[in-house]
A and B are shown apart, each in its own frame.
Chain A
Amino acid sequence: MSSTHRPPPPPPPPVPSYAGPGSPQDVPPPANSFPIDPATLPGPIRDEVLAADPIALDTSAAELKDGLNRCPKCGATDIRHKPGSDLLICQYCRNQWHGVRVEEEFGLGTGIDQLKGRVIASGARQIEADAASLMSFKCTGCGAEVTVNTESTMTARCHWCRHVFGVNEQVANGAVPDAVLPFHISKDDAVARIRQFVHKRRMFALKAFKDEFTPENVIGVYLPYMIVDGNTSVDVAGQGEIETRRYTRGSGNKKKTYYDADVYKVDRHVDFTVDDLPLESSTKRGNLDARANTNNIINTILPFDTKNAVKWNASYLAGFTSEKRDRDVSHLHPRLEDQLLSIARAQVEASVGQYNRGVRWEHERLDVHGTRWVSMYLPVWLYSYHQASSKGGLLHYIAVNGRTGETMGSVPVQQWKLILAALTVGSILEGIAIWIIGASS
């Protein structure tokens, strides 16, 4: 059964003979840090050190920097997203136009197998610690100050002259992404889906939840994600077993089955690319501890048709709330590595089908040749219910994917009802079991 296809993967690179500061064995310094205080350096060197890092993909839109999204036909600023489409519509002259798809505009769907290093789009760059969430604009219409809190919203209206402002400039607070995927599922549709979802979870639902159930309170939220393309190789090694003989010993109730098997050392290597893997880029949403929160519900409705995302324009967010990104590429990289390894393990499974007693993987190695990171706002309809308890309670979500309509939720249960039902069924089964035993003895 043994077959030789390929020599085993090369061992990890040998440890260099030198060690200490500056060697690969040293802990690397933080990004953008310099070992000497730049202020003590000569002018030209200081300027070089302090110059901004190059941004590989610039998705910021120069025409939107003053915060005013103007209709290309009449110049009005009251622009909204046309529900159910990717169109923007001018509320003044009814002109409609389509946002530019980032996929084509920035060539995001191509060349993944050629990716080398980290390519980070301008909207996904590092968040600066002192960047404020509150942004103020000077209205070009009347000169008034208009403030937008980017923690939860990306548009505002000047209360003096009614100009509508959107946060379009890619400031370093993480609020402005590279792209946005507009809502396609309407609110009525989302309400119907939530109603349907809860309808088949009524019997053991918490009474207070049922009493207060008002799916019309669903909120459209744009949540921040990093969409990652990756070019990767993975090696896995372990042992697999193939059954060679199966036999029984003993008789009657003492009869037992025994197995003989051949043990093989198994190595596998796979090169692959992933296209548009979504990762939550807010700390809150990325915490998927199902004991403490129900964020896994929102995670479940992934993925989105991110190929159709359009270049950022705050007008798409008019009437919706948003959450701000607070995680950088470096924070998300361990999670990406974990997911790439999981994908690789799924990819190699078909190649070890002959091991009918299973495979125990013992070592895995990941080589990330290149990644491309784009930040995006993705549309989610969220219905929430807070279940109070002495330990602080739990926020239950029912989420509808704003593009595909995929619905998932957490419905709080009435524990006593559920336990009573389980005990009742258990008792009936036990009664039948006792009857069978009694009848046969």
Chain B
Amino acid sequence: MSDDGGLWLLLLAGPVGATGLYWGLYRHYRNTDKSHAFERETAVEAKPVTGWDGKVDEVKGTQKTRIPGDNVREYRKRVQRVQGDSG
């Protein structure tokens, strides 16, 4: 790759722009991604969150910017369920 190789990435501008525009407009019209935001819109009274944190390992020299499988904001993505009392 030559010194100005980064410039060739600009060639992706067309396809990326076209796809982004299509999906942006499609969602604006069809609103397929909308639903009741019950996490924010429900009256919740929570006691202070308690917890425990302990260092278990170190990672050296990774190129990933986030932890693999980061789901801290994906509230609706269920993970392995430990059986509790379902009431």
Q: Which residues of A contact B (CB under 8 A)?
A: 1-8, 12, 112-113, 117-118, 201, 204-205, 230, 233, 235, 238-241, 244, 252-253, 256-278, 288, 290, 294, 296-297, 299-303, 333, 337-339, 341-343, 345-352, 355, 357-371, 408-413, 418-419, 421-423, 425-427, 429-434, 436-437, 440-441
Q: Top 6 A-B pairs ranked by shortest CB distance?
A: A426-B18, A430-B14, A368-B87, A358-B70, A272-B46, A263-B57
**Interchain CB contact under 8 A, B67 and A2:** no
Contact with A along B23-43 (1 / 0, CB 8 A): 001101111111110111111
A351-B72 contact in complex given A337-B86, A371-B87, C-beta closer than 8 Å: no
**Secondary structure call for the B interface:** mixed
Q: Which residues of B contact A (CB under 8 A)?
A: 1, 3-8, 10-11, 13-15, 17-19, 21-22, 25-26, 28-36, 38-47, 49-73, 75-76, 78-87
**Interchain CB contact under 8 A, B52 and A267:** yes
Q: Nearest CB to that of B21 among chain A residues?
A: A422
Q: Once bound together, how far apart are the Cα atoms of A359 and B60, in whole Å? A: 17
**Interchain CB contact under 8 A, B83 and A365:** yes
**Interchain CB contact under 8 A, A263 and B56:** yes
Q: Once bound together, how far apart are the Cα atoms of A338 and B35, in whole Å? A: 15
**Interchain CB contact under 8 A, B67 and A359:** yes
- Chain A residues with CB under 8 Å of B79's CB are 238, 361-364
- Chain B residues with CB under 8 Å of A266's CB are 51-53
Q: Once bound together, how far apart are the Cα atoms of A441 and B3, in whole Å? A: 11
Apart from the given pairs A358-B66, A362-B79, A413-B25, 9 other A-B contacts in the complex at a CB distance below 8 Å = A117-B87, A230-B87, A253-B1, A260-B62, A343-B75, A359-B71, A363-B81, A408-B34, A437-B8
